[in-house]
Amino acid sequence: MTISEQTLTRPRGGLPHGGVLVDRRLDADEAASLASGRLASLVLTAAEAADLRALASGAYSPLAGFLGAKEHQSVTEQMRLPDGTLWPIPVCLGLPEGVGVGDGRLGLRDAAGRLLGVLEVTEVFERDRQAEAELVYGTTDPDHPGVARVLGAPARAVAGPIQAVLQPLSGPVGSRALTPAQTRAAFAERGWATIVGFQTRNPVHRAHEYLMKCALEMVDGLLLHPLVGPTKDGDVPAEVRMRAYEAVLGYFPPARVLLAALVAPMRYAGPREAVLHALVRKNYGCSHFIVGRDHAGVASYYGTYAAQQLLASLDPAELGITPLAFDNAFYCRRCLSMATAKTCPHPERDHVALSGTQVRAMLAAGQLPPPEFSRPQVAELLIAASQARS
Ligand SMILES: [Zn+2]
């Protein structure tokens, strides 16, 4: 079979959400000429800057900018954009007191004053943060890290289409921060028609590896796609995680897995965010998406299976990516293999299972968790990072 025949017979990835992959990138020359003009400025938080990057790269297709009042209300209340397109979480840009919008175009800058992008202002509106917390996050508890960010945002938000420079990122994350167009091209080059995406903000232990391998038994390729944007205190830093993911890659055939970084903020919005995570992976070219227990949850705000249930309740054609719901995995000493409650009949005392708290305590004390729980190469990296921090 020739290359061109393969191209004809192999679908080149499914359609992005909304049908078109958004591209709002600004090249360095365009940015420089914009920056030299008289441009009113807005300094973005780290989370807003990560959202800007996701908007510009098409990760949030069909969004091409920050949401306005009507969109905010529609997404908050209906989980849909005003045109009916499924969209689970408002992506908003706060406008602090005293910041003007100038002549209708805002330069978006980081804390160091570097120009990240430009916003064509279409609207300034009062953001109903209380409704957003209640309906999107299911709680107004300020102890919830995502809710704290919403309630702590300015009362006013500024909306409109954006353009942004995708600045190269440094460190082990930088070279892996691929755009949706880049992962789609990589999948096509490898001839993958079916791709499963795995979202994580944590180090990958044997249990996650098992879920990825179960999924990979059924599809052509795996996109290991850790989120590397702002997370909450206590989560393992992205640079450390990337090295740990690279160690895990040694347990997959190189031709069947792609490790890429998703620069986006974590919202801990549970079920709603699980939908967002699925749609983002659809934009990156995935056909399938792994959804674990309490996906994107934090503490005990969401039901164990709430995220899986919300995804299952959506019209599959509209969702456009197939969720693969998984239970918690563990090593079973009697099965002599990794398993879940779906596949292992043995009692808990036969399982090698550690809580997150137990694992963190072991790593902080420099102890390797059992190899049935964590690959030693991964654990050693986490121990070194844990000890460097303390
Ligand atoms: Zn068993």
Q: What is the mean pLDDT of the chain?
A: 93
Contacts 24+ apart (CB under 8 A), 366-369: 369/205
pLDDT for position 12: 52
> In terms of pLDDT, which residue wins out, 186 or 175?
186
With bands split at pLDDT 50, 70 and 90, how would you rate the model's confidence at 196?
very high
Measured over the CA atoms of residue 345, residue 356, residue 209 and residue 218, the dihedral's sign is positive
Cα(332) to centroid of ligand 1, in Å?
5
pLDDT for position 1: 37
Distance CA 79, CA 218 (A): 31
pLDDT for position 9: 37
Distance CA 102, CA 118 (A): 12
With bands split at pLDDT 50, 70 and 90, how would you rate the model's confidence at 8?
very low
> In terms of pLDDT, which residue wins out, 74 or 169?
74
pLDDT for position 85: 98
Tens-digit pLDDT profile for residues 127-146: 999 999 999 999 999 999 99
Please, which residues have CB less than 5 A from ligand 1, an ion?
332, 334-335, 344, 346
DSSP 80: B
* Residue in 149, 201, 272, 375 annotated catalytic: 201
| 201 catalytic residue (yes or no) | yes
pLDDT above 80 (res 2): no
Q: What is the CA radius of gyration of the chain?
A: 21
22 contacts 90 by C-beta, under 8 angstroms: no
Distance CA 380, CA 363 (A): 8
| 328 catalytic residue (yes or no) | no
With bands split at pLDDT 50, 70 and 90, how would you rate the model's confidence at 173?
confident
How many residues are listed for the chain in this entry? Answer: 390
pLDDT above 70 (res 7): no
pLDDT above 90 (res 172): no
With bands split at pLDDT 50, 70 and 90, how would you rate the model's confidence at 3?
very low
Cα(344) to centroid of ligand 1, in Å?
4
User: In the block, which residue shows the tokens 């919300």?
Assistant: 310
* Residue in 202, 293, 328, 360 annotated catalytic: 202
The tokens for 277 are 């995570």
Provide mean pLDDT across the span 29-41: 81
234: number of Cβ within 10 Å:
8
> In terms of pLDDT, which residue wins out, 353 or 66?
66
Cα(374) to centroid of ligand 1, in Å?
18
Distance CA 71, CA 93 (A): 13
Helix (H), strand (E) at residue 133: none
Cα(334) to centroid of ligand 1, in Å?
5
What lies within 8 Å, CB to CB, of 170 at 6+ separation is none
pLDDT above 90 (res 190): yes
Provide mean pLDDT across the span 152-181: 93
Cα(325) to centroid of ligand 1, in Å?
20
Cα(372) to centroid of ligand 1, in Å?
13
